[in-house]
Amino acid sequence: MSIPAQSLHSASLESALKHFFGHECFRFEQRPIIERVLKNKDVLVVMPTGGGKSLCYQLPALLRAGVTIVVSPLIALMQDQVTALKDNGVNATFLNSTLAIDEARSRQSALLAGDIKLLYVAPERLFTPSFLDFLGQLGQKVGISTFAIDEAHCVSEWGHDFRPDYRQLFQLKQRYPQIPIIALTATATQRVRTDIVQQLRLADPEVYVSSFNRQNLYYEVSQKSKQPYAQLLQTIKQHQDTEGSGIIYCLSRKRVNEVAAQLQQDGIVALPYHAGLSAEEREANQTKFIRDDIQIIVATIAFGMGINKPDVRFVIHYDLPRNLESYYQEAGRAGRDGEAARCTIFFSWGDVHTVKYLISQKTDPDEQRIAQQQLSQIINYSESSVCRRKIQLGYFGEPFEAPCDNCDNCLNPAPIENWTVEAQKFLSCIYRCGQRFGMNHVIDVLRGSRKKRILELSHDQLSTYGIGADRSADEWRLLCRALIHQGYLDETTDGYSVLKLNADSNRVLKKQVSVEIPVSQRVTALDIAEPTASTRKAASVELTPTDSSLMSQLRSLRKKLADEQSVPPYIVFSDASLRQMAQNKPQTLAAFSKISGVGNRKLTQYGEEFTQTIHQFCQANGLEVEAAEEAIAPIPKPTIETEITATQLTTYELYQSGLSLPEIALKRNVRLSTINGHMAKLIETGYQVALDKLVSVERQSVINRAIAEVGPHSLRNIREAVGETYDYQEITLVRAAWEAKHSEPPK
Ligand code: ADP
Ligand code: ZN
């Protein structure tokens, strides 16, 4: 129905992006996706977490007639999205089981009045008879522009969050074949993607797959020291100067409780989260985390789904992650806002042995095999000297050209050394000991230990006894792991970890191959290492001390404004926006409007307070001070031709031919309210309409006064202000004229 997207002015999508969301440019494939949605075509969007999927349906929703229906699995997510949209001045709402009947009804009438652009619903509600009836009315009166299916992988049993309610979504295409569907997911597997297309019956969909490379994340693996808590504390303290939020993942509830309690004792504001806590306590802790009342959440993997917090600055896996895919997802909860963030694994062979033991206790051989394989992947990842990003992306089948310059291995590559002779000593010692012992015993023999057990076994009589005294135990451990890693040695997985030679061990012993291993400084400084300048750089924003102190003030202001409205601070502004403010120090509204993340609404709502704070900061610190201006120059509302649909144009032609609105309705066989809606849109977009002939001048001025008082956003509020003798239709027309006048670009 809408005019093809090719007719868009090339710059107008960008100006709409700035006007509504404050962003300067599109990310990834956002632009082509949006263009395709505007053409009413089905799309599947696969983007990593934090890629910016929501914008792909939110922006088109604002540029087209009718309501976009968003299917979303979690109530918390719906609420979050609606709050964020409202803070950008976009009228959105949700309907779910938490609402009282009255509230749901009033939201429905606002929708039918054409007052709302996006409606979030849970899948289980969609096909109830009463909701279907409501959708029918909505389609009639204001139109449904698109169905957006968020977290679309929930339709697939192959995915990790299968939801039976999502299975019903195939009915959408059956019932509304003409309404396009945009499905969105962060799933990495091909199988789930295929399933989504089939389950939703997408018609000739274009599939957009963005790179899964999260460039802003710094990946590192730290050898877990013998005092892991002290190491954790030190890692966290590196983040405290940036005041960023963090998640610490532990494997057990017990560990979660311990770590959270220890952190509290050390004066760090942290709370636990796991399935053993009551629902209320979990929710309370989560809310405190989202609102920045606490800095850190210590959690089991129960924490994460449904957390939209975009400004998590670090994720630490205190224990081994379960597998590489879940590691990617869990670490990926950091830095959704695109700002630098750091992902750390604390790796220890002790933990590996624990997991191996647990695996050996499994009764199902298939399960055991899969778990074993997943463990090997994590060990490979952790022990590798290859770019971490390359390993992760490779796992998802995405090629990547190392170095990435944002992981420990790329920034501090471990030098490779030839340790063939050491390898031969090690392997022959295993052989001499009869292949019945674990790593530590073999090392004791090599280093000539006088331990009782060695003497009892007469292993001090072996030819390899003491031939490795020149190397530290840590160095031998490193070699042993590298040999296992490279396949020159096996280790039993029955819980005892006995070292066994294999065919490739013999090739080493016969000098047929040489053994090269990465020897990092981590070997000699196994215990707590100071972070290097380069690693620290990636984790924190690079601000001068003055800028940091301004940033800190801006953070407090953001928190204050957020608390006043009971919303999370990131709803007010992202970390990226604050950082830009701290660096550019805008002191006038004009300068403030240039900051990324400042759209029209945020300029009006927050501009004064932020520029004032910055102005005072500059004064107090002897920095250049700019004069304050008088009036706000609004960010111009883009003129986008797709706003007018073909049917609206038809109405306009009939209007121009001299027909009254009721006559047009009659002629076109549609409701008068529909025609009225068309006229409002035409007025708002700047088409010539003689408003005085439609609404008397006196009534116009009453309505205009009401708009000045309560704002243009809610028709209902305007109606309340003018009283019941005014109807929605005339209010809609006058408001359209008001919008047209107030969105004119500044001269
Ligand atoms: P996803 O749903 O893919 O995980 P979101 O839609 O929540 O990601 O977006 C993640 C973050 O990126 C949000 O803070 C959003 O404001 C921001 N964002 C999205 N698109 C852009 C853009 N084009 N420019 C700057 N920031 C963007
Ligand atoms: Zn790298």
The CATH number that applies at residue 589 is: 1.10.150.80
Using DSSP's 3-state secondary structure scheme, residue 317 falls into strand
Q: Does residue 20 sit in the same domain as residue 162? A: yes
CA–CA gap between residue 574 and residue 199 (Å, rounded): 36
- According to the model, what pLDDT value does residue 384 have? 83
Phi, psi of 350 (to 5 degrees): -60, -45
- According to the model, what pLDDT value does residue 631 have? 52
Query: Going by CA atoms, what residue is nearest to atom 26 of ligand 1?
Result: 23
End of a domain among 518, 534, 562? 518
Residue ranges lining ligand 1, Cβ < 6 Å: 23, 26-27, 30, 47, 49-55, 310, 336-338, 574
CB 498 within 8 A of CB 435: yes
pLDDT, mean over the chain: 87
Is 234 within the bounds of a domain?
no
Examine the pLDDT at 562 and tell me if it is beyond 80. yes
Which residue from 483, 498, 491 is spatially nearest to 433, judged by alpha carbons?
498
Residue that the structure tokens 């590559």 belong to: 413
Least reliable range by pLDDT among 105-114, 351-360, 370-379, 645-654:
645-654
Question: Best mutation site among 21, 45, 90, 309 for ligand 1, i.e. most ligand atoms within 8 A of its Cβ?
Answer: 21
Q: Residue 619: which residues within 8 A CB-CB, separation 6 or more?
A: 625
Question: Where does residue 105 rank: exposed (0-12), middle (13-18), buried (19+ CB within 10 A)?
Answer: exposed
Q: How confident is residue 495, by pLDDT bands cut at 50, 70 and 90?
A: low
Q: Does residue 275 sit in the same domain as residue 313? A: yes
CB 563 within 8 A of CB 555: no
Query: Going by CA atoms, what residue is nearest to atom 24 of ligand 1?
Result: 23
CA dihedral angle for residue 317, residue 321, residue 326, residue 327, rounded to 10 degrees: 50
Q: How confident is residue 685, by pLDDT bands cut at 50, 70 and 90?
A: confident
* CATH for 366: 3.40.50.300
Examine the pLDDT at 144 and tell me if it is beyond 90. yes
Q: Which is more confident, 687 or 185?
A: 185
CA–CA gap between residue 716 and residue 305 (Å, rounded): 35
- According to the model, what pLDDT value does residue 628 have? 59
Q: Residue 560: which residues within 8 A CB-CB, separation 6 or more?
A: none
Query: Going by CA atoms, what residue is nearest to atom 11 of ligand 1?
Result: 337
| Ligand positioned closest to the Cα atom of 389 | 2
| Ligand positioned closest to the Cα atom of 13 | 1
Query: Going by CA atoms, what residue is nearest to atom 20 of ligand 1?
Result: 52
Q: For residue 59, how far is its CA from the centre of ligand 1 (angstroms)?
A: 12
Sign for the CA dihedral angle at 592, 597, 599, 603 comes to: negative
- According to the model, what pLDDT value does residue 233 have? 92
Nearest atom within ligand 1 for CA of residue 338: 12
Tell me the residues surrounding ligand 2 (ion) with CB < 5 Å.
387, 389, 404, 407, 410
Examine the pLDDT at 746 and tell me if it is beyond 50. no
Q: Which is more confident, 354 or 188?
A: 354
Question: Best mutation site among 13, 14, 18, 27 for ligand 1, i.e. most ligand atoms within 8 A of its Cβ?
Answer: 27
Question: Best mutation site among 13, 23, 567 for ligand 1, i.e. most ligand atoms within 8 A of its Cβ?
Answer: 23
Q: How confident is residue 372, by pLDDT bands cut at 50, 70 and 90?
A: confident
CB 34 within 8 A of CB 146: no
* Segments forming the whole domain that contains residue 650: 644-742
Q: Which is more confident, 514 or 625?
A: 514
Is 41 within the bounds of a domain?
yes
Which structure tokens are listed for 509? 């012993």
End of a domain among 405, 432, 465? 405
> What's the rounded mean pLDDT across residues 550-571?
92
Q: How confident is residue 497, by pLDDT bands cut at 50, 70 and 90?
A: confident
Is 216 within the bounds of a domain?
no
Residue spans of alpha helices (H) in 299-348? 324-331
Question: Best mutation site among 182, 245, 305, 336 for ligand 1, i.e. most ligand atoms within 8 A of its Cβ?
Answer: 336
| Ligand positioned closest to the Cα atom of 148 | 1
Q: Cis omega (within 30 of 0) on the bond before 403? A: yes
Query: Going by CA atoms, what residue is nearest to atom 25 of ligand 1?
Result: 23
CB 728 within 8 A of CB 736: no
- Please state the separation of Cα 138 from the chain's center in Å: 32
CA dihedral angle for residue 709, residue 712, residue 716, residue 717, rounded to 10 degrees: -20
Q: Residue 10: which residues within 8 A CB-CB, separation 6 or more?
A: none
| Ligand positioned closest to the Cα atom of 219 | 2
State the angle between helix axes of 672-684 and 646-656 in degrees (0 to 180), rounded to the nearest 10.
90
Is 371 within the bounds of a domain?
yes
Q: How confident is residue 643, by pLDDT bands cut at 50, 70 and 90?
A: low
- According to the model, what pLDDT value does residue 330 have? 92
| Ligand positioned closest to the Cα atom of 220 | 2
Is 690 within the bounds of a domain?
yes
Q: Residue 537: which residues within 8 A CB-CB, separation 6 or more?
A: none
The H or E element spanning position 649 is helix 646-656
Q: For residue 221, how far is its CA from the centre of ligand 2 (angstroms)?
A: 12
Is 219 within the bounds of a domain?
no
Q: Does residue 29 sit in the same domain as residue 174? A: yes
Q: Does residue 48 sit in the same domain as residue 180? A: yes
Q: Does residue 607 sit in the same domain as residue 488? A: no
Is 220 within the bounds of a domain?
no
Residue at 74: amino acid letter:
L
DSSP summary character for residue 713: S
> What's the rounded mean pLDDT across residues 725-747?
79
Residue spans of alpha helices (H) in 142-201? 164-167, 170-175, 190-199
Examine the pLDDT at 520 and tell me if it is beyond 70. no
Q: For residue 310, how far is its CA from the centre of ligand 1 (angstroms)?
A: 8
End of a domain among 595, 610, 631? 631
CA–CA gap between residue 301 and residue 665 (Å, rounded): 57
DSSP summary character for residue 481: H
Q: Does residue 504 sit in the same domain as residue 582? A: no
Q: For residue 51, how far is its CA from the centre of ligand 1 (angstroms)?
A: 6
Q: For residue 52, how far is its CA from the centre of ligand 1 (angstroms)?
A: 3
Q: Is 137 left (phi over 0), alpha (psi -120 to 50) or beta?
A: alpha
Query: Going by CA atoms, what residue is nearest to atom 15 of ligand 1?
Result: 52
* CATH for 462: 1.10.10.10
Q: Does residue 567 sit in the same domain as residue 588? A: yes
Q: How confident is residue 614, by pLDDT bands cut at 50, 70 and 90?
A: very high
Q: Which is more confident, 211 or 518?
A: 211
Which structure tokens are listed for 277? 């806590």
Residue spans of alpha helices (H) in 685-727? 691-694, 697-710, 715-722
Is 153 within the bounds of a domain?
yes
CA–CA gap between residue 485 and residue 388 (Å, rounded): 16
Q: Does residue 253 sit in the same domain as residue 177? A: no
Q: Does residue 273 sit in the same domain as residue 422? A: no
Round the CA-based radius of gyration of the chain to a whole number and report it.
31
Examine the pLDDT at 526 and tell me if it is beyond 90. no
Query: Going by CA atoms, what residue is nearest to atom 23 of ligand 1?
Result: 26
Count of residues for the chain? 747
Q: Which H, E and C letters describe 370-420, residue by residue? A: HHHHHHHHHHHHHHCCCCHHHHHHHHCCCCCCCCCCCEHHHHCCCCEEECH
pLDDT digits 0-9 by tens, 414-469: 788 899 999 999 999 999 999 999 998 999 999 999 999 999 999 999 999 999 99
CA–CA gap between residue 314 and residue 334 (Å, rounded): 6
Least reliable range by pLDDT among 50-64, 495-509, 521-535:
521-535
For strands 270-273 and 43-46, give the pairing.
Answer: unpaired
| Ligand positioned closest to the Cα atom of 388 | 2
Q: Does residue 33 sit in the same domain as residue 87? A: yes
Examine the pLDDT at 558 and tell me if it is beyond 50. yes
Which structure tokens are listed for 638? 């883009």
Which residues make beta-bridge pairs with 418? 516
> What's the rounded mean pLDDT across residues 65-82?
89
DSSP summary character for residue 482: H
> What's the rounded mean pLDDT across residues 712-738?
87
Q: How confident is residue 66, by pLDDT bands cut at 50, 70 and 90?
A: very high
Examine the pLDDT at 3 and tell me if it is beyond 60. no
Q: Does residue 672 sit in the same domain as residue 625? A: no
- According to the model, what pLDDT value does residue 642 have? 47
pLDDT digits 0-9 by tens, 116-142: 999 999 998 899 999 999 999 999 899
Q: How confident is residue 158, by pLDDT bands cut at 50, 70 and 90?
A: confident
Task: Count the domains in the chain.
Answer: 5
> What's the rounded mean pLDDT across residues 368-391?
87
Q: For residue 239, how far is its CA from the centre of ligand 2 (angstroms)?
A: 21
Give, in degrees to the nearest 5, the angle at Cα 178 between 685 and 116.
Answer: 40
- According to the model, what pLDDT value does residue 242 have? 64
Q: Which is more confident, 489 or 9?
A: 489
- According to the model, what pLDDT value does residue 415 have? 81
> What's the rounded mean pLDDT across residues 523-528?
36
* CATH for 661: 1.10.10
Question: Best mutation site among 305, 337, 595 for ligand 1, i.e. most ligand atoms within 8 A of its Cβ?
Answer: 337
Q: Does residue 19 sit in the same domain as residue 163? A: yes
Examine the pLDDT at 659 and tell me if it is beyond 50. yes
CA–CA gap between residue 627 and residue 249 (Å, rounded): 49
